[in-house]
Structure 1
Amino acid sequence: MLWLSLLTAAIAPGMALLVYFYLKDRYDPEPVHMVARMFLFGALLVFPTMVLQRALVLGLGESPVLYSFVYSAGVEEFFKWFVLYFVLYKHAFFDEPYDGIVYSVAVSAGFATVENVFYALLNFVTFSDLLLRALLPVSGHALFGVSMGYHLGRAKFSQQREKRFLLFAICIPILYHGLFDYILLLRTNWMFLIAVFMVFLWVRSLRKVRKANDRSSRRHLHPQEEVKMSTFS
């Protein structure tokens, strides 16, 4: 059935991105049940987010800047940060810098997946529409999650600068997300600008992935992994 195919196409990108970043954990993969739980938290965040966004629009009115940096980026990234900080940050499973990235991407992927499903079911979409969303909004959420998770990892294991990195963990994703949405609202040159911006986000995110893995306390337990990485670097 067509609707089932569209539903699968809407779910697949978020799951694929989550698996990709999960497998990037070189030293101590997280329990699948915990990752799934954070994915579910992210999925459930869509509902309070929609309510608050609607209330803000009614109360403050609409403008491209408000929509991009407050209603969309501000509200969505705050809720993600809130869940990660109060549910995960002091959890025993969060014991490596890269764990922040895994769990943050899980929350972001859950949010983006439900958002994508709503879009697919409530609009007359084609598979090309869903492909574009996979490359832009869904990937965007995952990459914002990498930034948030990286700085949460820095905060957790850099106690002298904990507050600074906790602030970075929410402010930088809001900035990236806001710029992303603002570019999409532009009527001229948006395709070129968003392509450049997505390349920037991917390059920066993969660097954060490498840095977070390099800060693992378990690196010395995997000398063969270090040899492999040095061979291909």
Structure 2
Amino acid sequence: MFLVLSLLSVVCASVPMLTFLLIIWYMDRHEREPLWLFFLTFLWGACGAVSFALIGNETFSAILSVIVGPELADTMAATIIAPLVEEPMKALVLFAVMFSRHFDNATDGFVYGAAAGLGFGMTENFFYFLNVAASGDVFGWMMTVVIRTFFSAVMHACATSCVGAMLGFARFRGWGWKIAALPLGFGFAMSIHALWNGMLTVGDLTANMGFMLANLGLFIVEFVVLVAVFQLALWEERGTIRRELADEVQQRLVPLAHAKAVGSWLVRGKQHWVPKGVPHGQYVKALTTLALRKHQARNSSSGGYAFYSEEVVRLRREVAGLLALAK
């Protein structure tokens, strides 16, 4: 039975997280991230973040055990140490991705953060599933799979997405936002993590299922709020696209109908508004990237301004070349 449950643990830990990962990638409607970088972020969460977090958790738990005793240390480890150690470890990769040309705004930060969190959740889930499988308790294993797949692992994704979203939001804004982004992002992330672990710990200590049910309900509310924030980030991105392309319309570089279509998620994926002979996907991507690069050039430092300005010139040529293919 252990062998069967072990094999099922591999499947149940990986398949749902990979499915969630692709759903999040698809939800980034306007400018989807390169899959290789997206999966690399996921792998950091699954391997690098887990490894460093394990070392950090064990080290600080051992120190705390000497100070307050083993029993209290175990309780504090889940509620205090885990959020303080695991959230920075998951977010480390975001600081590398943030300085790439693919990290544009809050939407990008959100999806990269979620990817790192899902990777962490996948590996953590596997070890939890394996631990319960060793006991031979099939029902307990099934309950662990359900709870950890749809709540604990998603909690990791939600928490790290807060950090990513704040970094993305602040990247092309003033120094005030840049300074505030880290404490705000990590504050939200650690609070979500600590609240989830804390209520689970209290529920276990008191053997009160009410804490478990309240925790599940509270997390659903947090999840809905985060989805709403993600939608607001997409709405802001759409507004940027429409605003920046309005200049191109005034200069008669882009037809008004095309600027409106690219700014609409419902219309941009359809073929009817693109002239015959113009490659639909390439044209939509060129217009979207042009709008975002204009926004970035306007809000960049001197070094970044030169790069983004050159990109704007290049993309204008590309758009003009694509429109010249119209039959």
Task: Give yes or no for TM over 0.5.
Answer: yes
- Is the 8 Å Cα contact of residues 6 and 127 (structure 1) preserved in structure 2? no
Structure 2 segments unaligned to the other structure (5+ residues): 66-71, 134-139, 246-258, 269-327
Return the index of the structure with the highest Cα Rg: 2
Segment of structure 1 superposing worse, 64-73 or 23-32: 64-73
Match of 1:186 among 202, 209, 217: 202
Match of 1:91 in 2: 100
The whole-number CA distance in structure 2 between the counterparts of 1:39 and 1:154 is 21
The whole-number CA distance in structure 1 between the counterparts of 2:216 and 2:34 is 34
Match of 1:51 in 2: 55
Match of 1:74 among 72, 84, 89: 84
The whole-number CA distance in structure 1 between the counterparts of 2:197 and 2:31 is 34
Matched letter for residue 224 of structure 1: S
| Equivalenced residues, count | 227
Residue 144 of structure 2 corresponds to residue 104 of structure 1? no
Match of 1:225 in 2: 265
Match of 2:296 in 1: none
Give the direction of change, closer, same or farther, for the CA distance of 1:155–1:75 in structure 2 (3 Å limit): same
Give the direction of change, closer, same or farther, for the CA distance of 1:96–1:154 in structure 2 (3 Å limit): closer
Q: Give CA-to-partner distance per residue, 1:176-204, whole Å, 9 cap, x none.
A: 10011001011332122112211221111
- Is the 8 Å Cα contact of residues 10 and 113 (structure 1) preserved in structure 2? yes
Matched letter for residue 23 of structure 2: Y
Instruction: For CA contacts below 8 A with separation 6 or more, give which structure has more relative contact order.
Output: 1
Match of 1:169 in 2: 185
Match of 1:205 in 2: 226
The whole-number CA distance in structure 1 between the counterparts of 2:118 and 2:142 is 19
The whole-number CA distance in structure 2 between the counterparts of 1:89 and 1:65 is 35
Structure 1 segments unaligned to the other structure (5+ residues): 229-233
The whole-number CA distance in structure 2 between the counterparts of 1:212 and 1:135 is 24
The whole-number CA distance in structure 2 between the counterparts of 1:143 and 1:94 is 18
Q: Give CA-to-partner distance per residue, 1:76-112, whole Å, 9 cap, x none.
A: 0011223212x11211110232110111011111111
Identity in percent: 22
Q: CA deviation at 1:10?
A: 1.4
The whole-number CA distance in structure 1 between the counterparts of 2:232 and 2:264 is 18
- Is the 8 Å Cα contact of residues 64 and 73 (structure 2) preserved in structure 1? no
The whole-number CA distance in structure 1 between the counterparts of 2:163 and 2:64 is 27
Q: CA deviation at 1:69?
A: 4.1
Q: Give CA-to-partner distance per residue, 1:121-141, whole Å, 9 cap, x none.
A: 233262332112112211111
Q: Give CA-to-partner distance per residue, 1:130-184, whole Å, 9 cap, x none.
A: 1121122111111112322221221213224111122211111001100110010
Match of 1:139 among 154, 170, 186: 154
- Is the 8 Å Cα contact of residues 14 and 122 (structure 2) preserved in structure 1? yes
Q: Let me know the Cα RMSD of the aligned residues.
A: 2.1
Match of 1:231 in 2: none
